[in-house]
Every structure is written in C-alpha cells, then in structure tokens.
C-alpha cells in the first residue's frame, strides 16, 4: 500500500504526494481563493484532487486550524444543515491549485470514529 504524504509548506499551502507513485505530487495554495473571494473566519473548502489516477480523493481545507485533509468519499460526511457555496477562480489568471471549490461557512472538521465530518456550523 502506498502512503499518502501531506506536507504544510506555508500558510494555506500544502504539498501532497503518494509514496512510490511517480508524478503524483500536487501543490495546493488556497490563498488565491481566499483573496479573490475575501474569505475570512471559520470555513471549509472541499475540492476533488485531480491526480494520481486510481488514487484520487477529496481534499478539505479547514481555516480554523489552517489544516488540510485528504479523504476518500466513503469516509467524508457533510452536515445536512450546511449551505454550500461554489467558488471558481480564472485558470488563465491563477495558475495554482485548486481553482474550484465548494465552500462551507462557519464549520470545521471533526473525526467521528473512522469518518470525517464537515460540520459544527449553523
């Protein structure tokens, strides 16, 4: 089994790679989204990881702890009371990833047994 490695490289920036999987590195920078949409406070951003094929997952950025989680869809729960916003920045202007996310405001990540919940907001 390959290990998934997440390294924090700066504020709102992360590097993801799969051990022993060539060309699996993804460099994530959430700052352009934060700047364009003036994101502040407590929120989560959900996106789909574009690679590597066969090992793709969802990624969740949590502003509360400036943290990033990579998770399989079967292990991710979203509280039903949360409103979903959809944000996308112009790929011609911004060359960083991700360029499109789902926004959940006033919430955070919480582990419940083997699952992860985006919730806590109202």
d(CA 14, CA 120): 24
pLDDT band for 23, please (50, 70, 90 cuts). confident
Closest to 27 measured CA to CA, from 43, 16, 12: 16
Contacts of 35 (CB under 8 A, 6+ apart): none
pLDDT confidence of residue 22: 86
d(CA 24, CA 90): 24
Strands 115-119 and 76-78: parallel
pLDDT tens column, 61-102: 999 999 999 999 999 999 999 999 999 999 999 989 999 999
pTM to 2 decimals?
Answer: 0.93
pLDDT band for 20, please (50, 70, 90 cuts). confident
Q: Which of 6-20, 32-46, 108-122 has the lowest mean pLDDT?
A: 108-122
For the chain, domain boundaries? 30-119
d(CA 71, CA 60): 8
pLDDT at 29 over 90: yes
């Amino acid at each position: 089994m390959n290990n998934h490695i997440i390294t924090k490289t700066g504020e709102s920036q992360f590097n993801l790679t799969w051990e022993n999987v060539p060309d699996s590195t993804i460099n994530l920078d959430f700052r352009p989204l934060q700047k364009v949409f003036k994101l502040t406070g407590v929120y989560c951003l959900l996106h789909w990881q574009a690679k590597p094929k066969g090992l793709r997952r969802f990624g969740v950025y949590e502003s509360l702890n400036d943290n990033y989680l990579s998770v399989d869809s079967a292990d991710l729960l979203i509280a039903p009371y949360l409103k979903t916003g959809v944000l996308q920045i112009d790929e011609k202007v911004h060359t960083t990833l991700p360029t499109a996310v789902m926004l959940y405001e006033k919430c955070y990540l919480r582990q419940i047994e083997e699952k992860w919940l985006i919730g806590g907001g109202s």
